Structure 1
């Protein structure tokens, strides 16, 4: 099989439309049709079938897509490993990273990596873990740094740091006048992530387990980095990483509301393809991220 044909096949499978694939790949539709015919001859089966105005993969096509992606990633890994034999700590590291890790772990780790290897380039995508996991599966990033989830076949994770999520308020909030309980938290309004975010769902379920109404949310935001400022400027409670309360952080006006039932124990991990190639620069970055986590705890 020709690697170029496999690349065209991947794009056609993604778009499920020969015309749109032609526009993206800058190839004529007859050229793409010929490419698919060559693959079908090699496989001895149909790879696509008509579906409305477009096309979709047959069962055999789905199998080939899995192996086409794996082949592309293996070829990329081979090129990277050969290149790094000559250049050592150099090249581009592609990282998908959640906001908390991007704010607290990445800057000190990258500062040290640049000192050791000034030729290293870093390409980062900051987002929620579900989005980052998809990028890792497609090979658009080399690794993800985020919260630990269910183990997935074909991927491996290394522990970086504990990252407890706690209830937080402005340090001058009236809730600190006494010894609040989880029931007392229900008297106040909150700023939280939208429903479906892991931390939001965990907090909602915790209140329900204690037979209490869910927190009353006045402000919802998926931009995690703005939550500390919102908490500091309002009387709203929130649920964020304890790392925001560490000495030297700009969120010094915040304080943890000490309610043990509402502490979510979360682990930060780095995840990459099992058996995939990680460059020396990627490996060194993982080591530095782990070191940064220890310093910040």
Structure 2
């Protein structure tokens, strides 16, 4: 009946402990989901660029490791993929996902793709002064 109250430092420590507990629960859920990938269905959504240039290679690498997993894919623009998140296991998009994410959704930056300018050797952008990169002004 006297009541116990945390000190300010104790309250801050309790926040860290809660975050650790939540992270552990997410890790355990991920472990359980991966175990479930021995058989079943994996539903993947991807916006146009990842669907065209990345997903085929990822699926080709994954299939031999989990031959009993059926893979379903859907592709569209980023807004379509984000809208479909509740029915997907994972999604890959380019650019920011926007604000309409379902509760409990985590976003992780995964890859950075380099975009290069390819020009004939006689083109002004092939000059030595552009060897370290090309600015937007140089492309104009």
| TM-score computed with the length of structure 2 as normaliser | 0.53
Aligned residue in 2 for 1:200:
none
Q: Are 2:45 and 2:92, in contact at CA under 8 Å, matched by a contact in 1?
A: yes
CA, structure 1 residues 170+121, in 2 after alignment: closer, same or farther (shift >3 Å)?
farther
Distance 1:105 1:130 in 2: 19
Select the residue among 153, 160, 163 that pairs with 2:110. Answer: 160
Residues 171/133 of structure 1: CA separation in 2 closer, same or farther (3 Å cut): farther
Structure showing greater Rg = 1
Aligned-partner Cα distance in 2 for 1:93–1:102? 15
Quote the RMSD (CA, aligned, Å): 3.2
Say which of 151, 175, 180 aligns to 2:124.
175
Unaligned runs of 5+ in 1: 1-80, 187-297
Q: Secondary structure in 2 aligned to 1:118?
A: coil
CA gap of 1:134–1:182, structure 2 versus 1, over 3 A, is same
- Higher strand residue share: 1
Q: 1:177 to 1:106 in 2, by over 3 A?
A: closer
CA distance in 2, matches of 1:119, 1:92: 9
Q: Cα offset for 1:140?
A: 3.5
Q: How many residues align?
A: 100
Partner of 2:139: 185
5+ residue gaps, structure 2, are 1-31
Distance 1:89 1:160, change over 3 A: same
Q: Cα offset for 1:93? A: 1.4
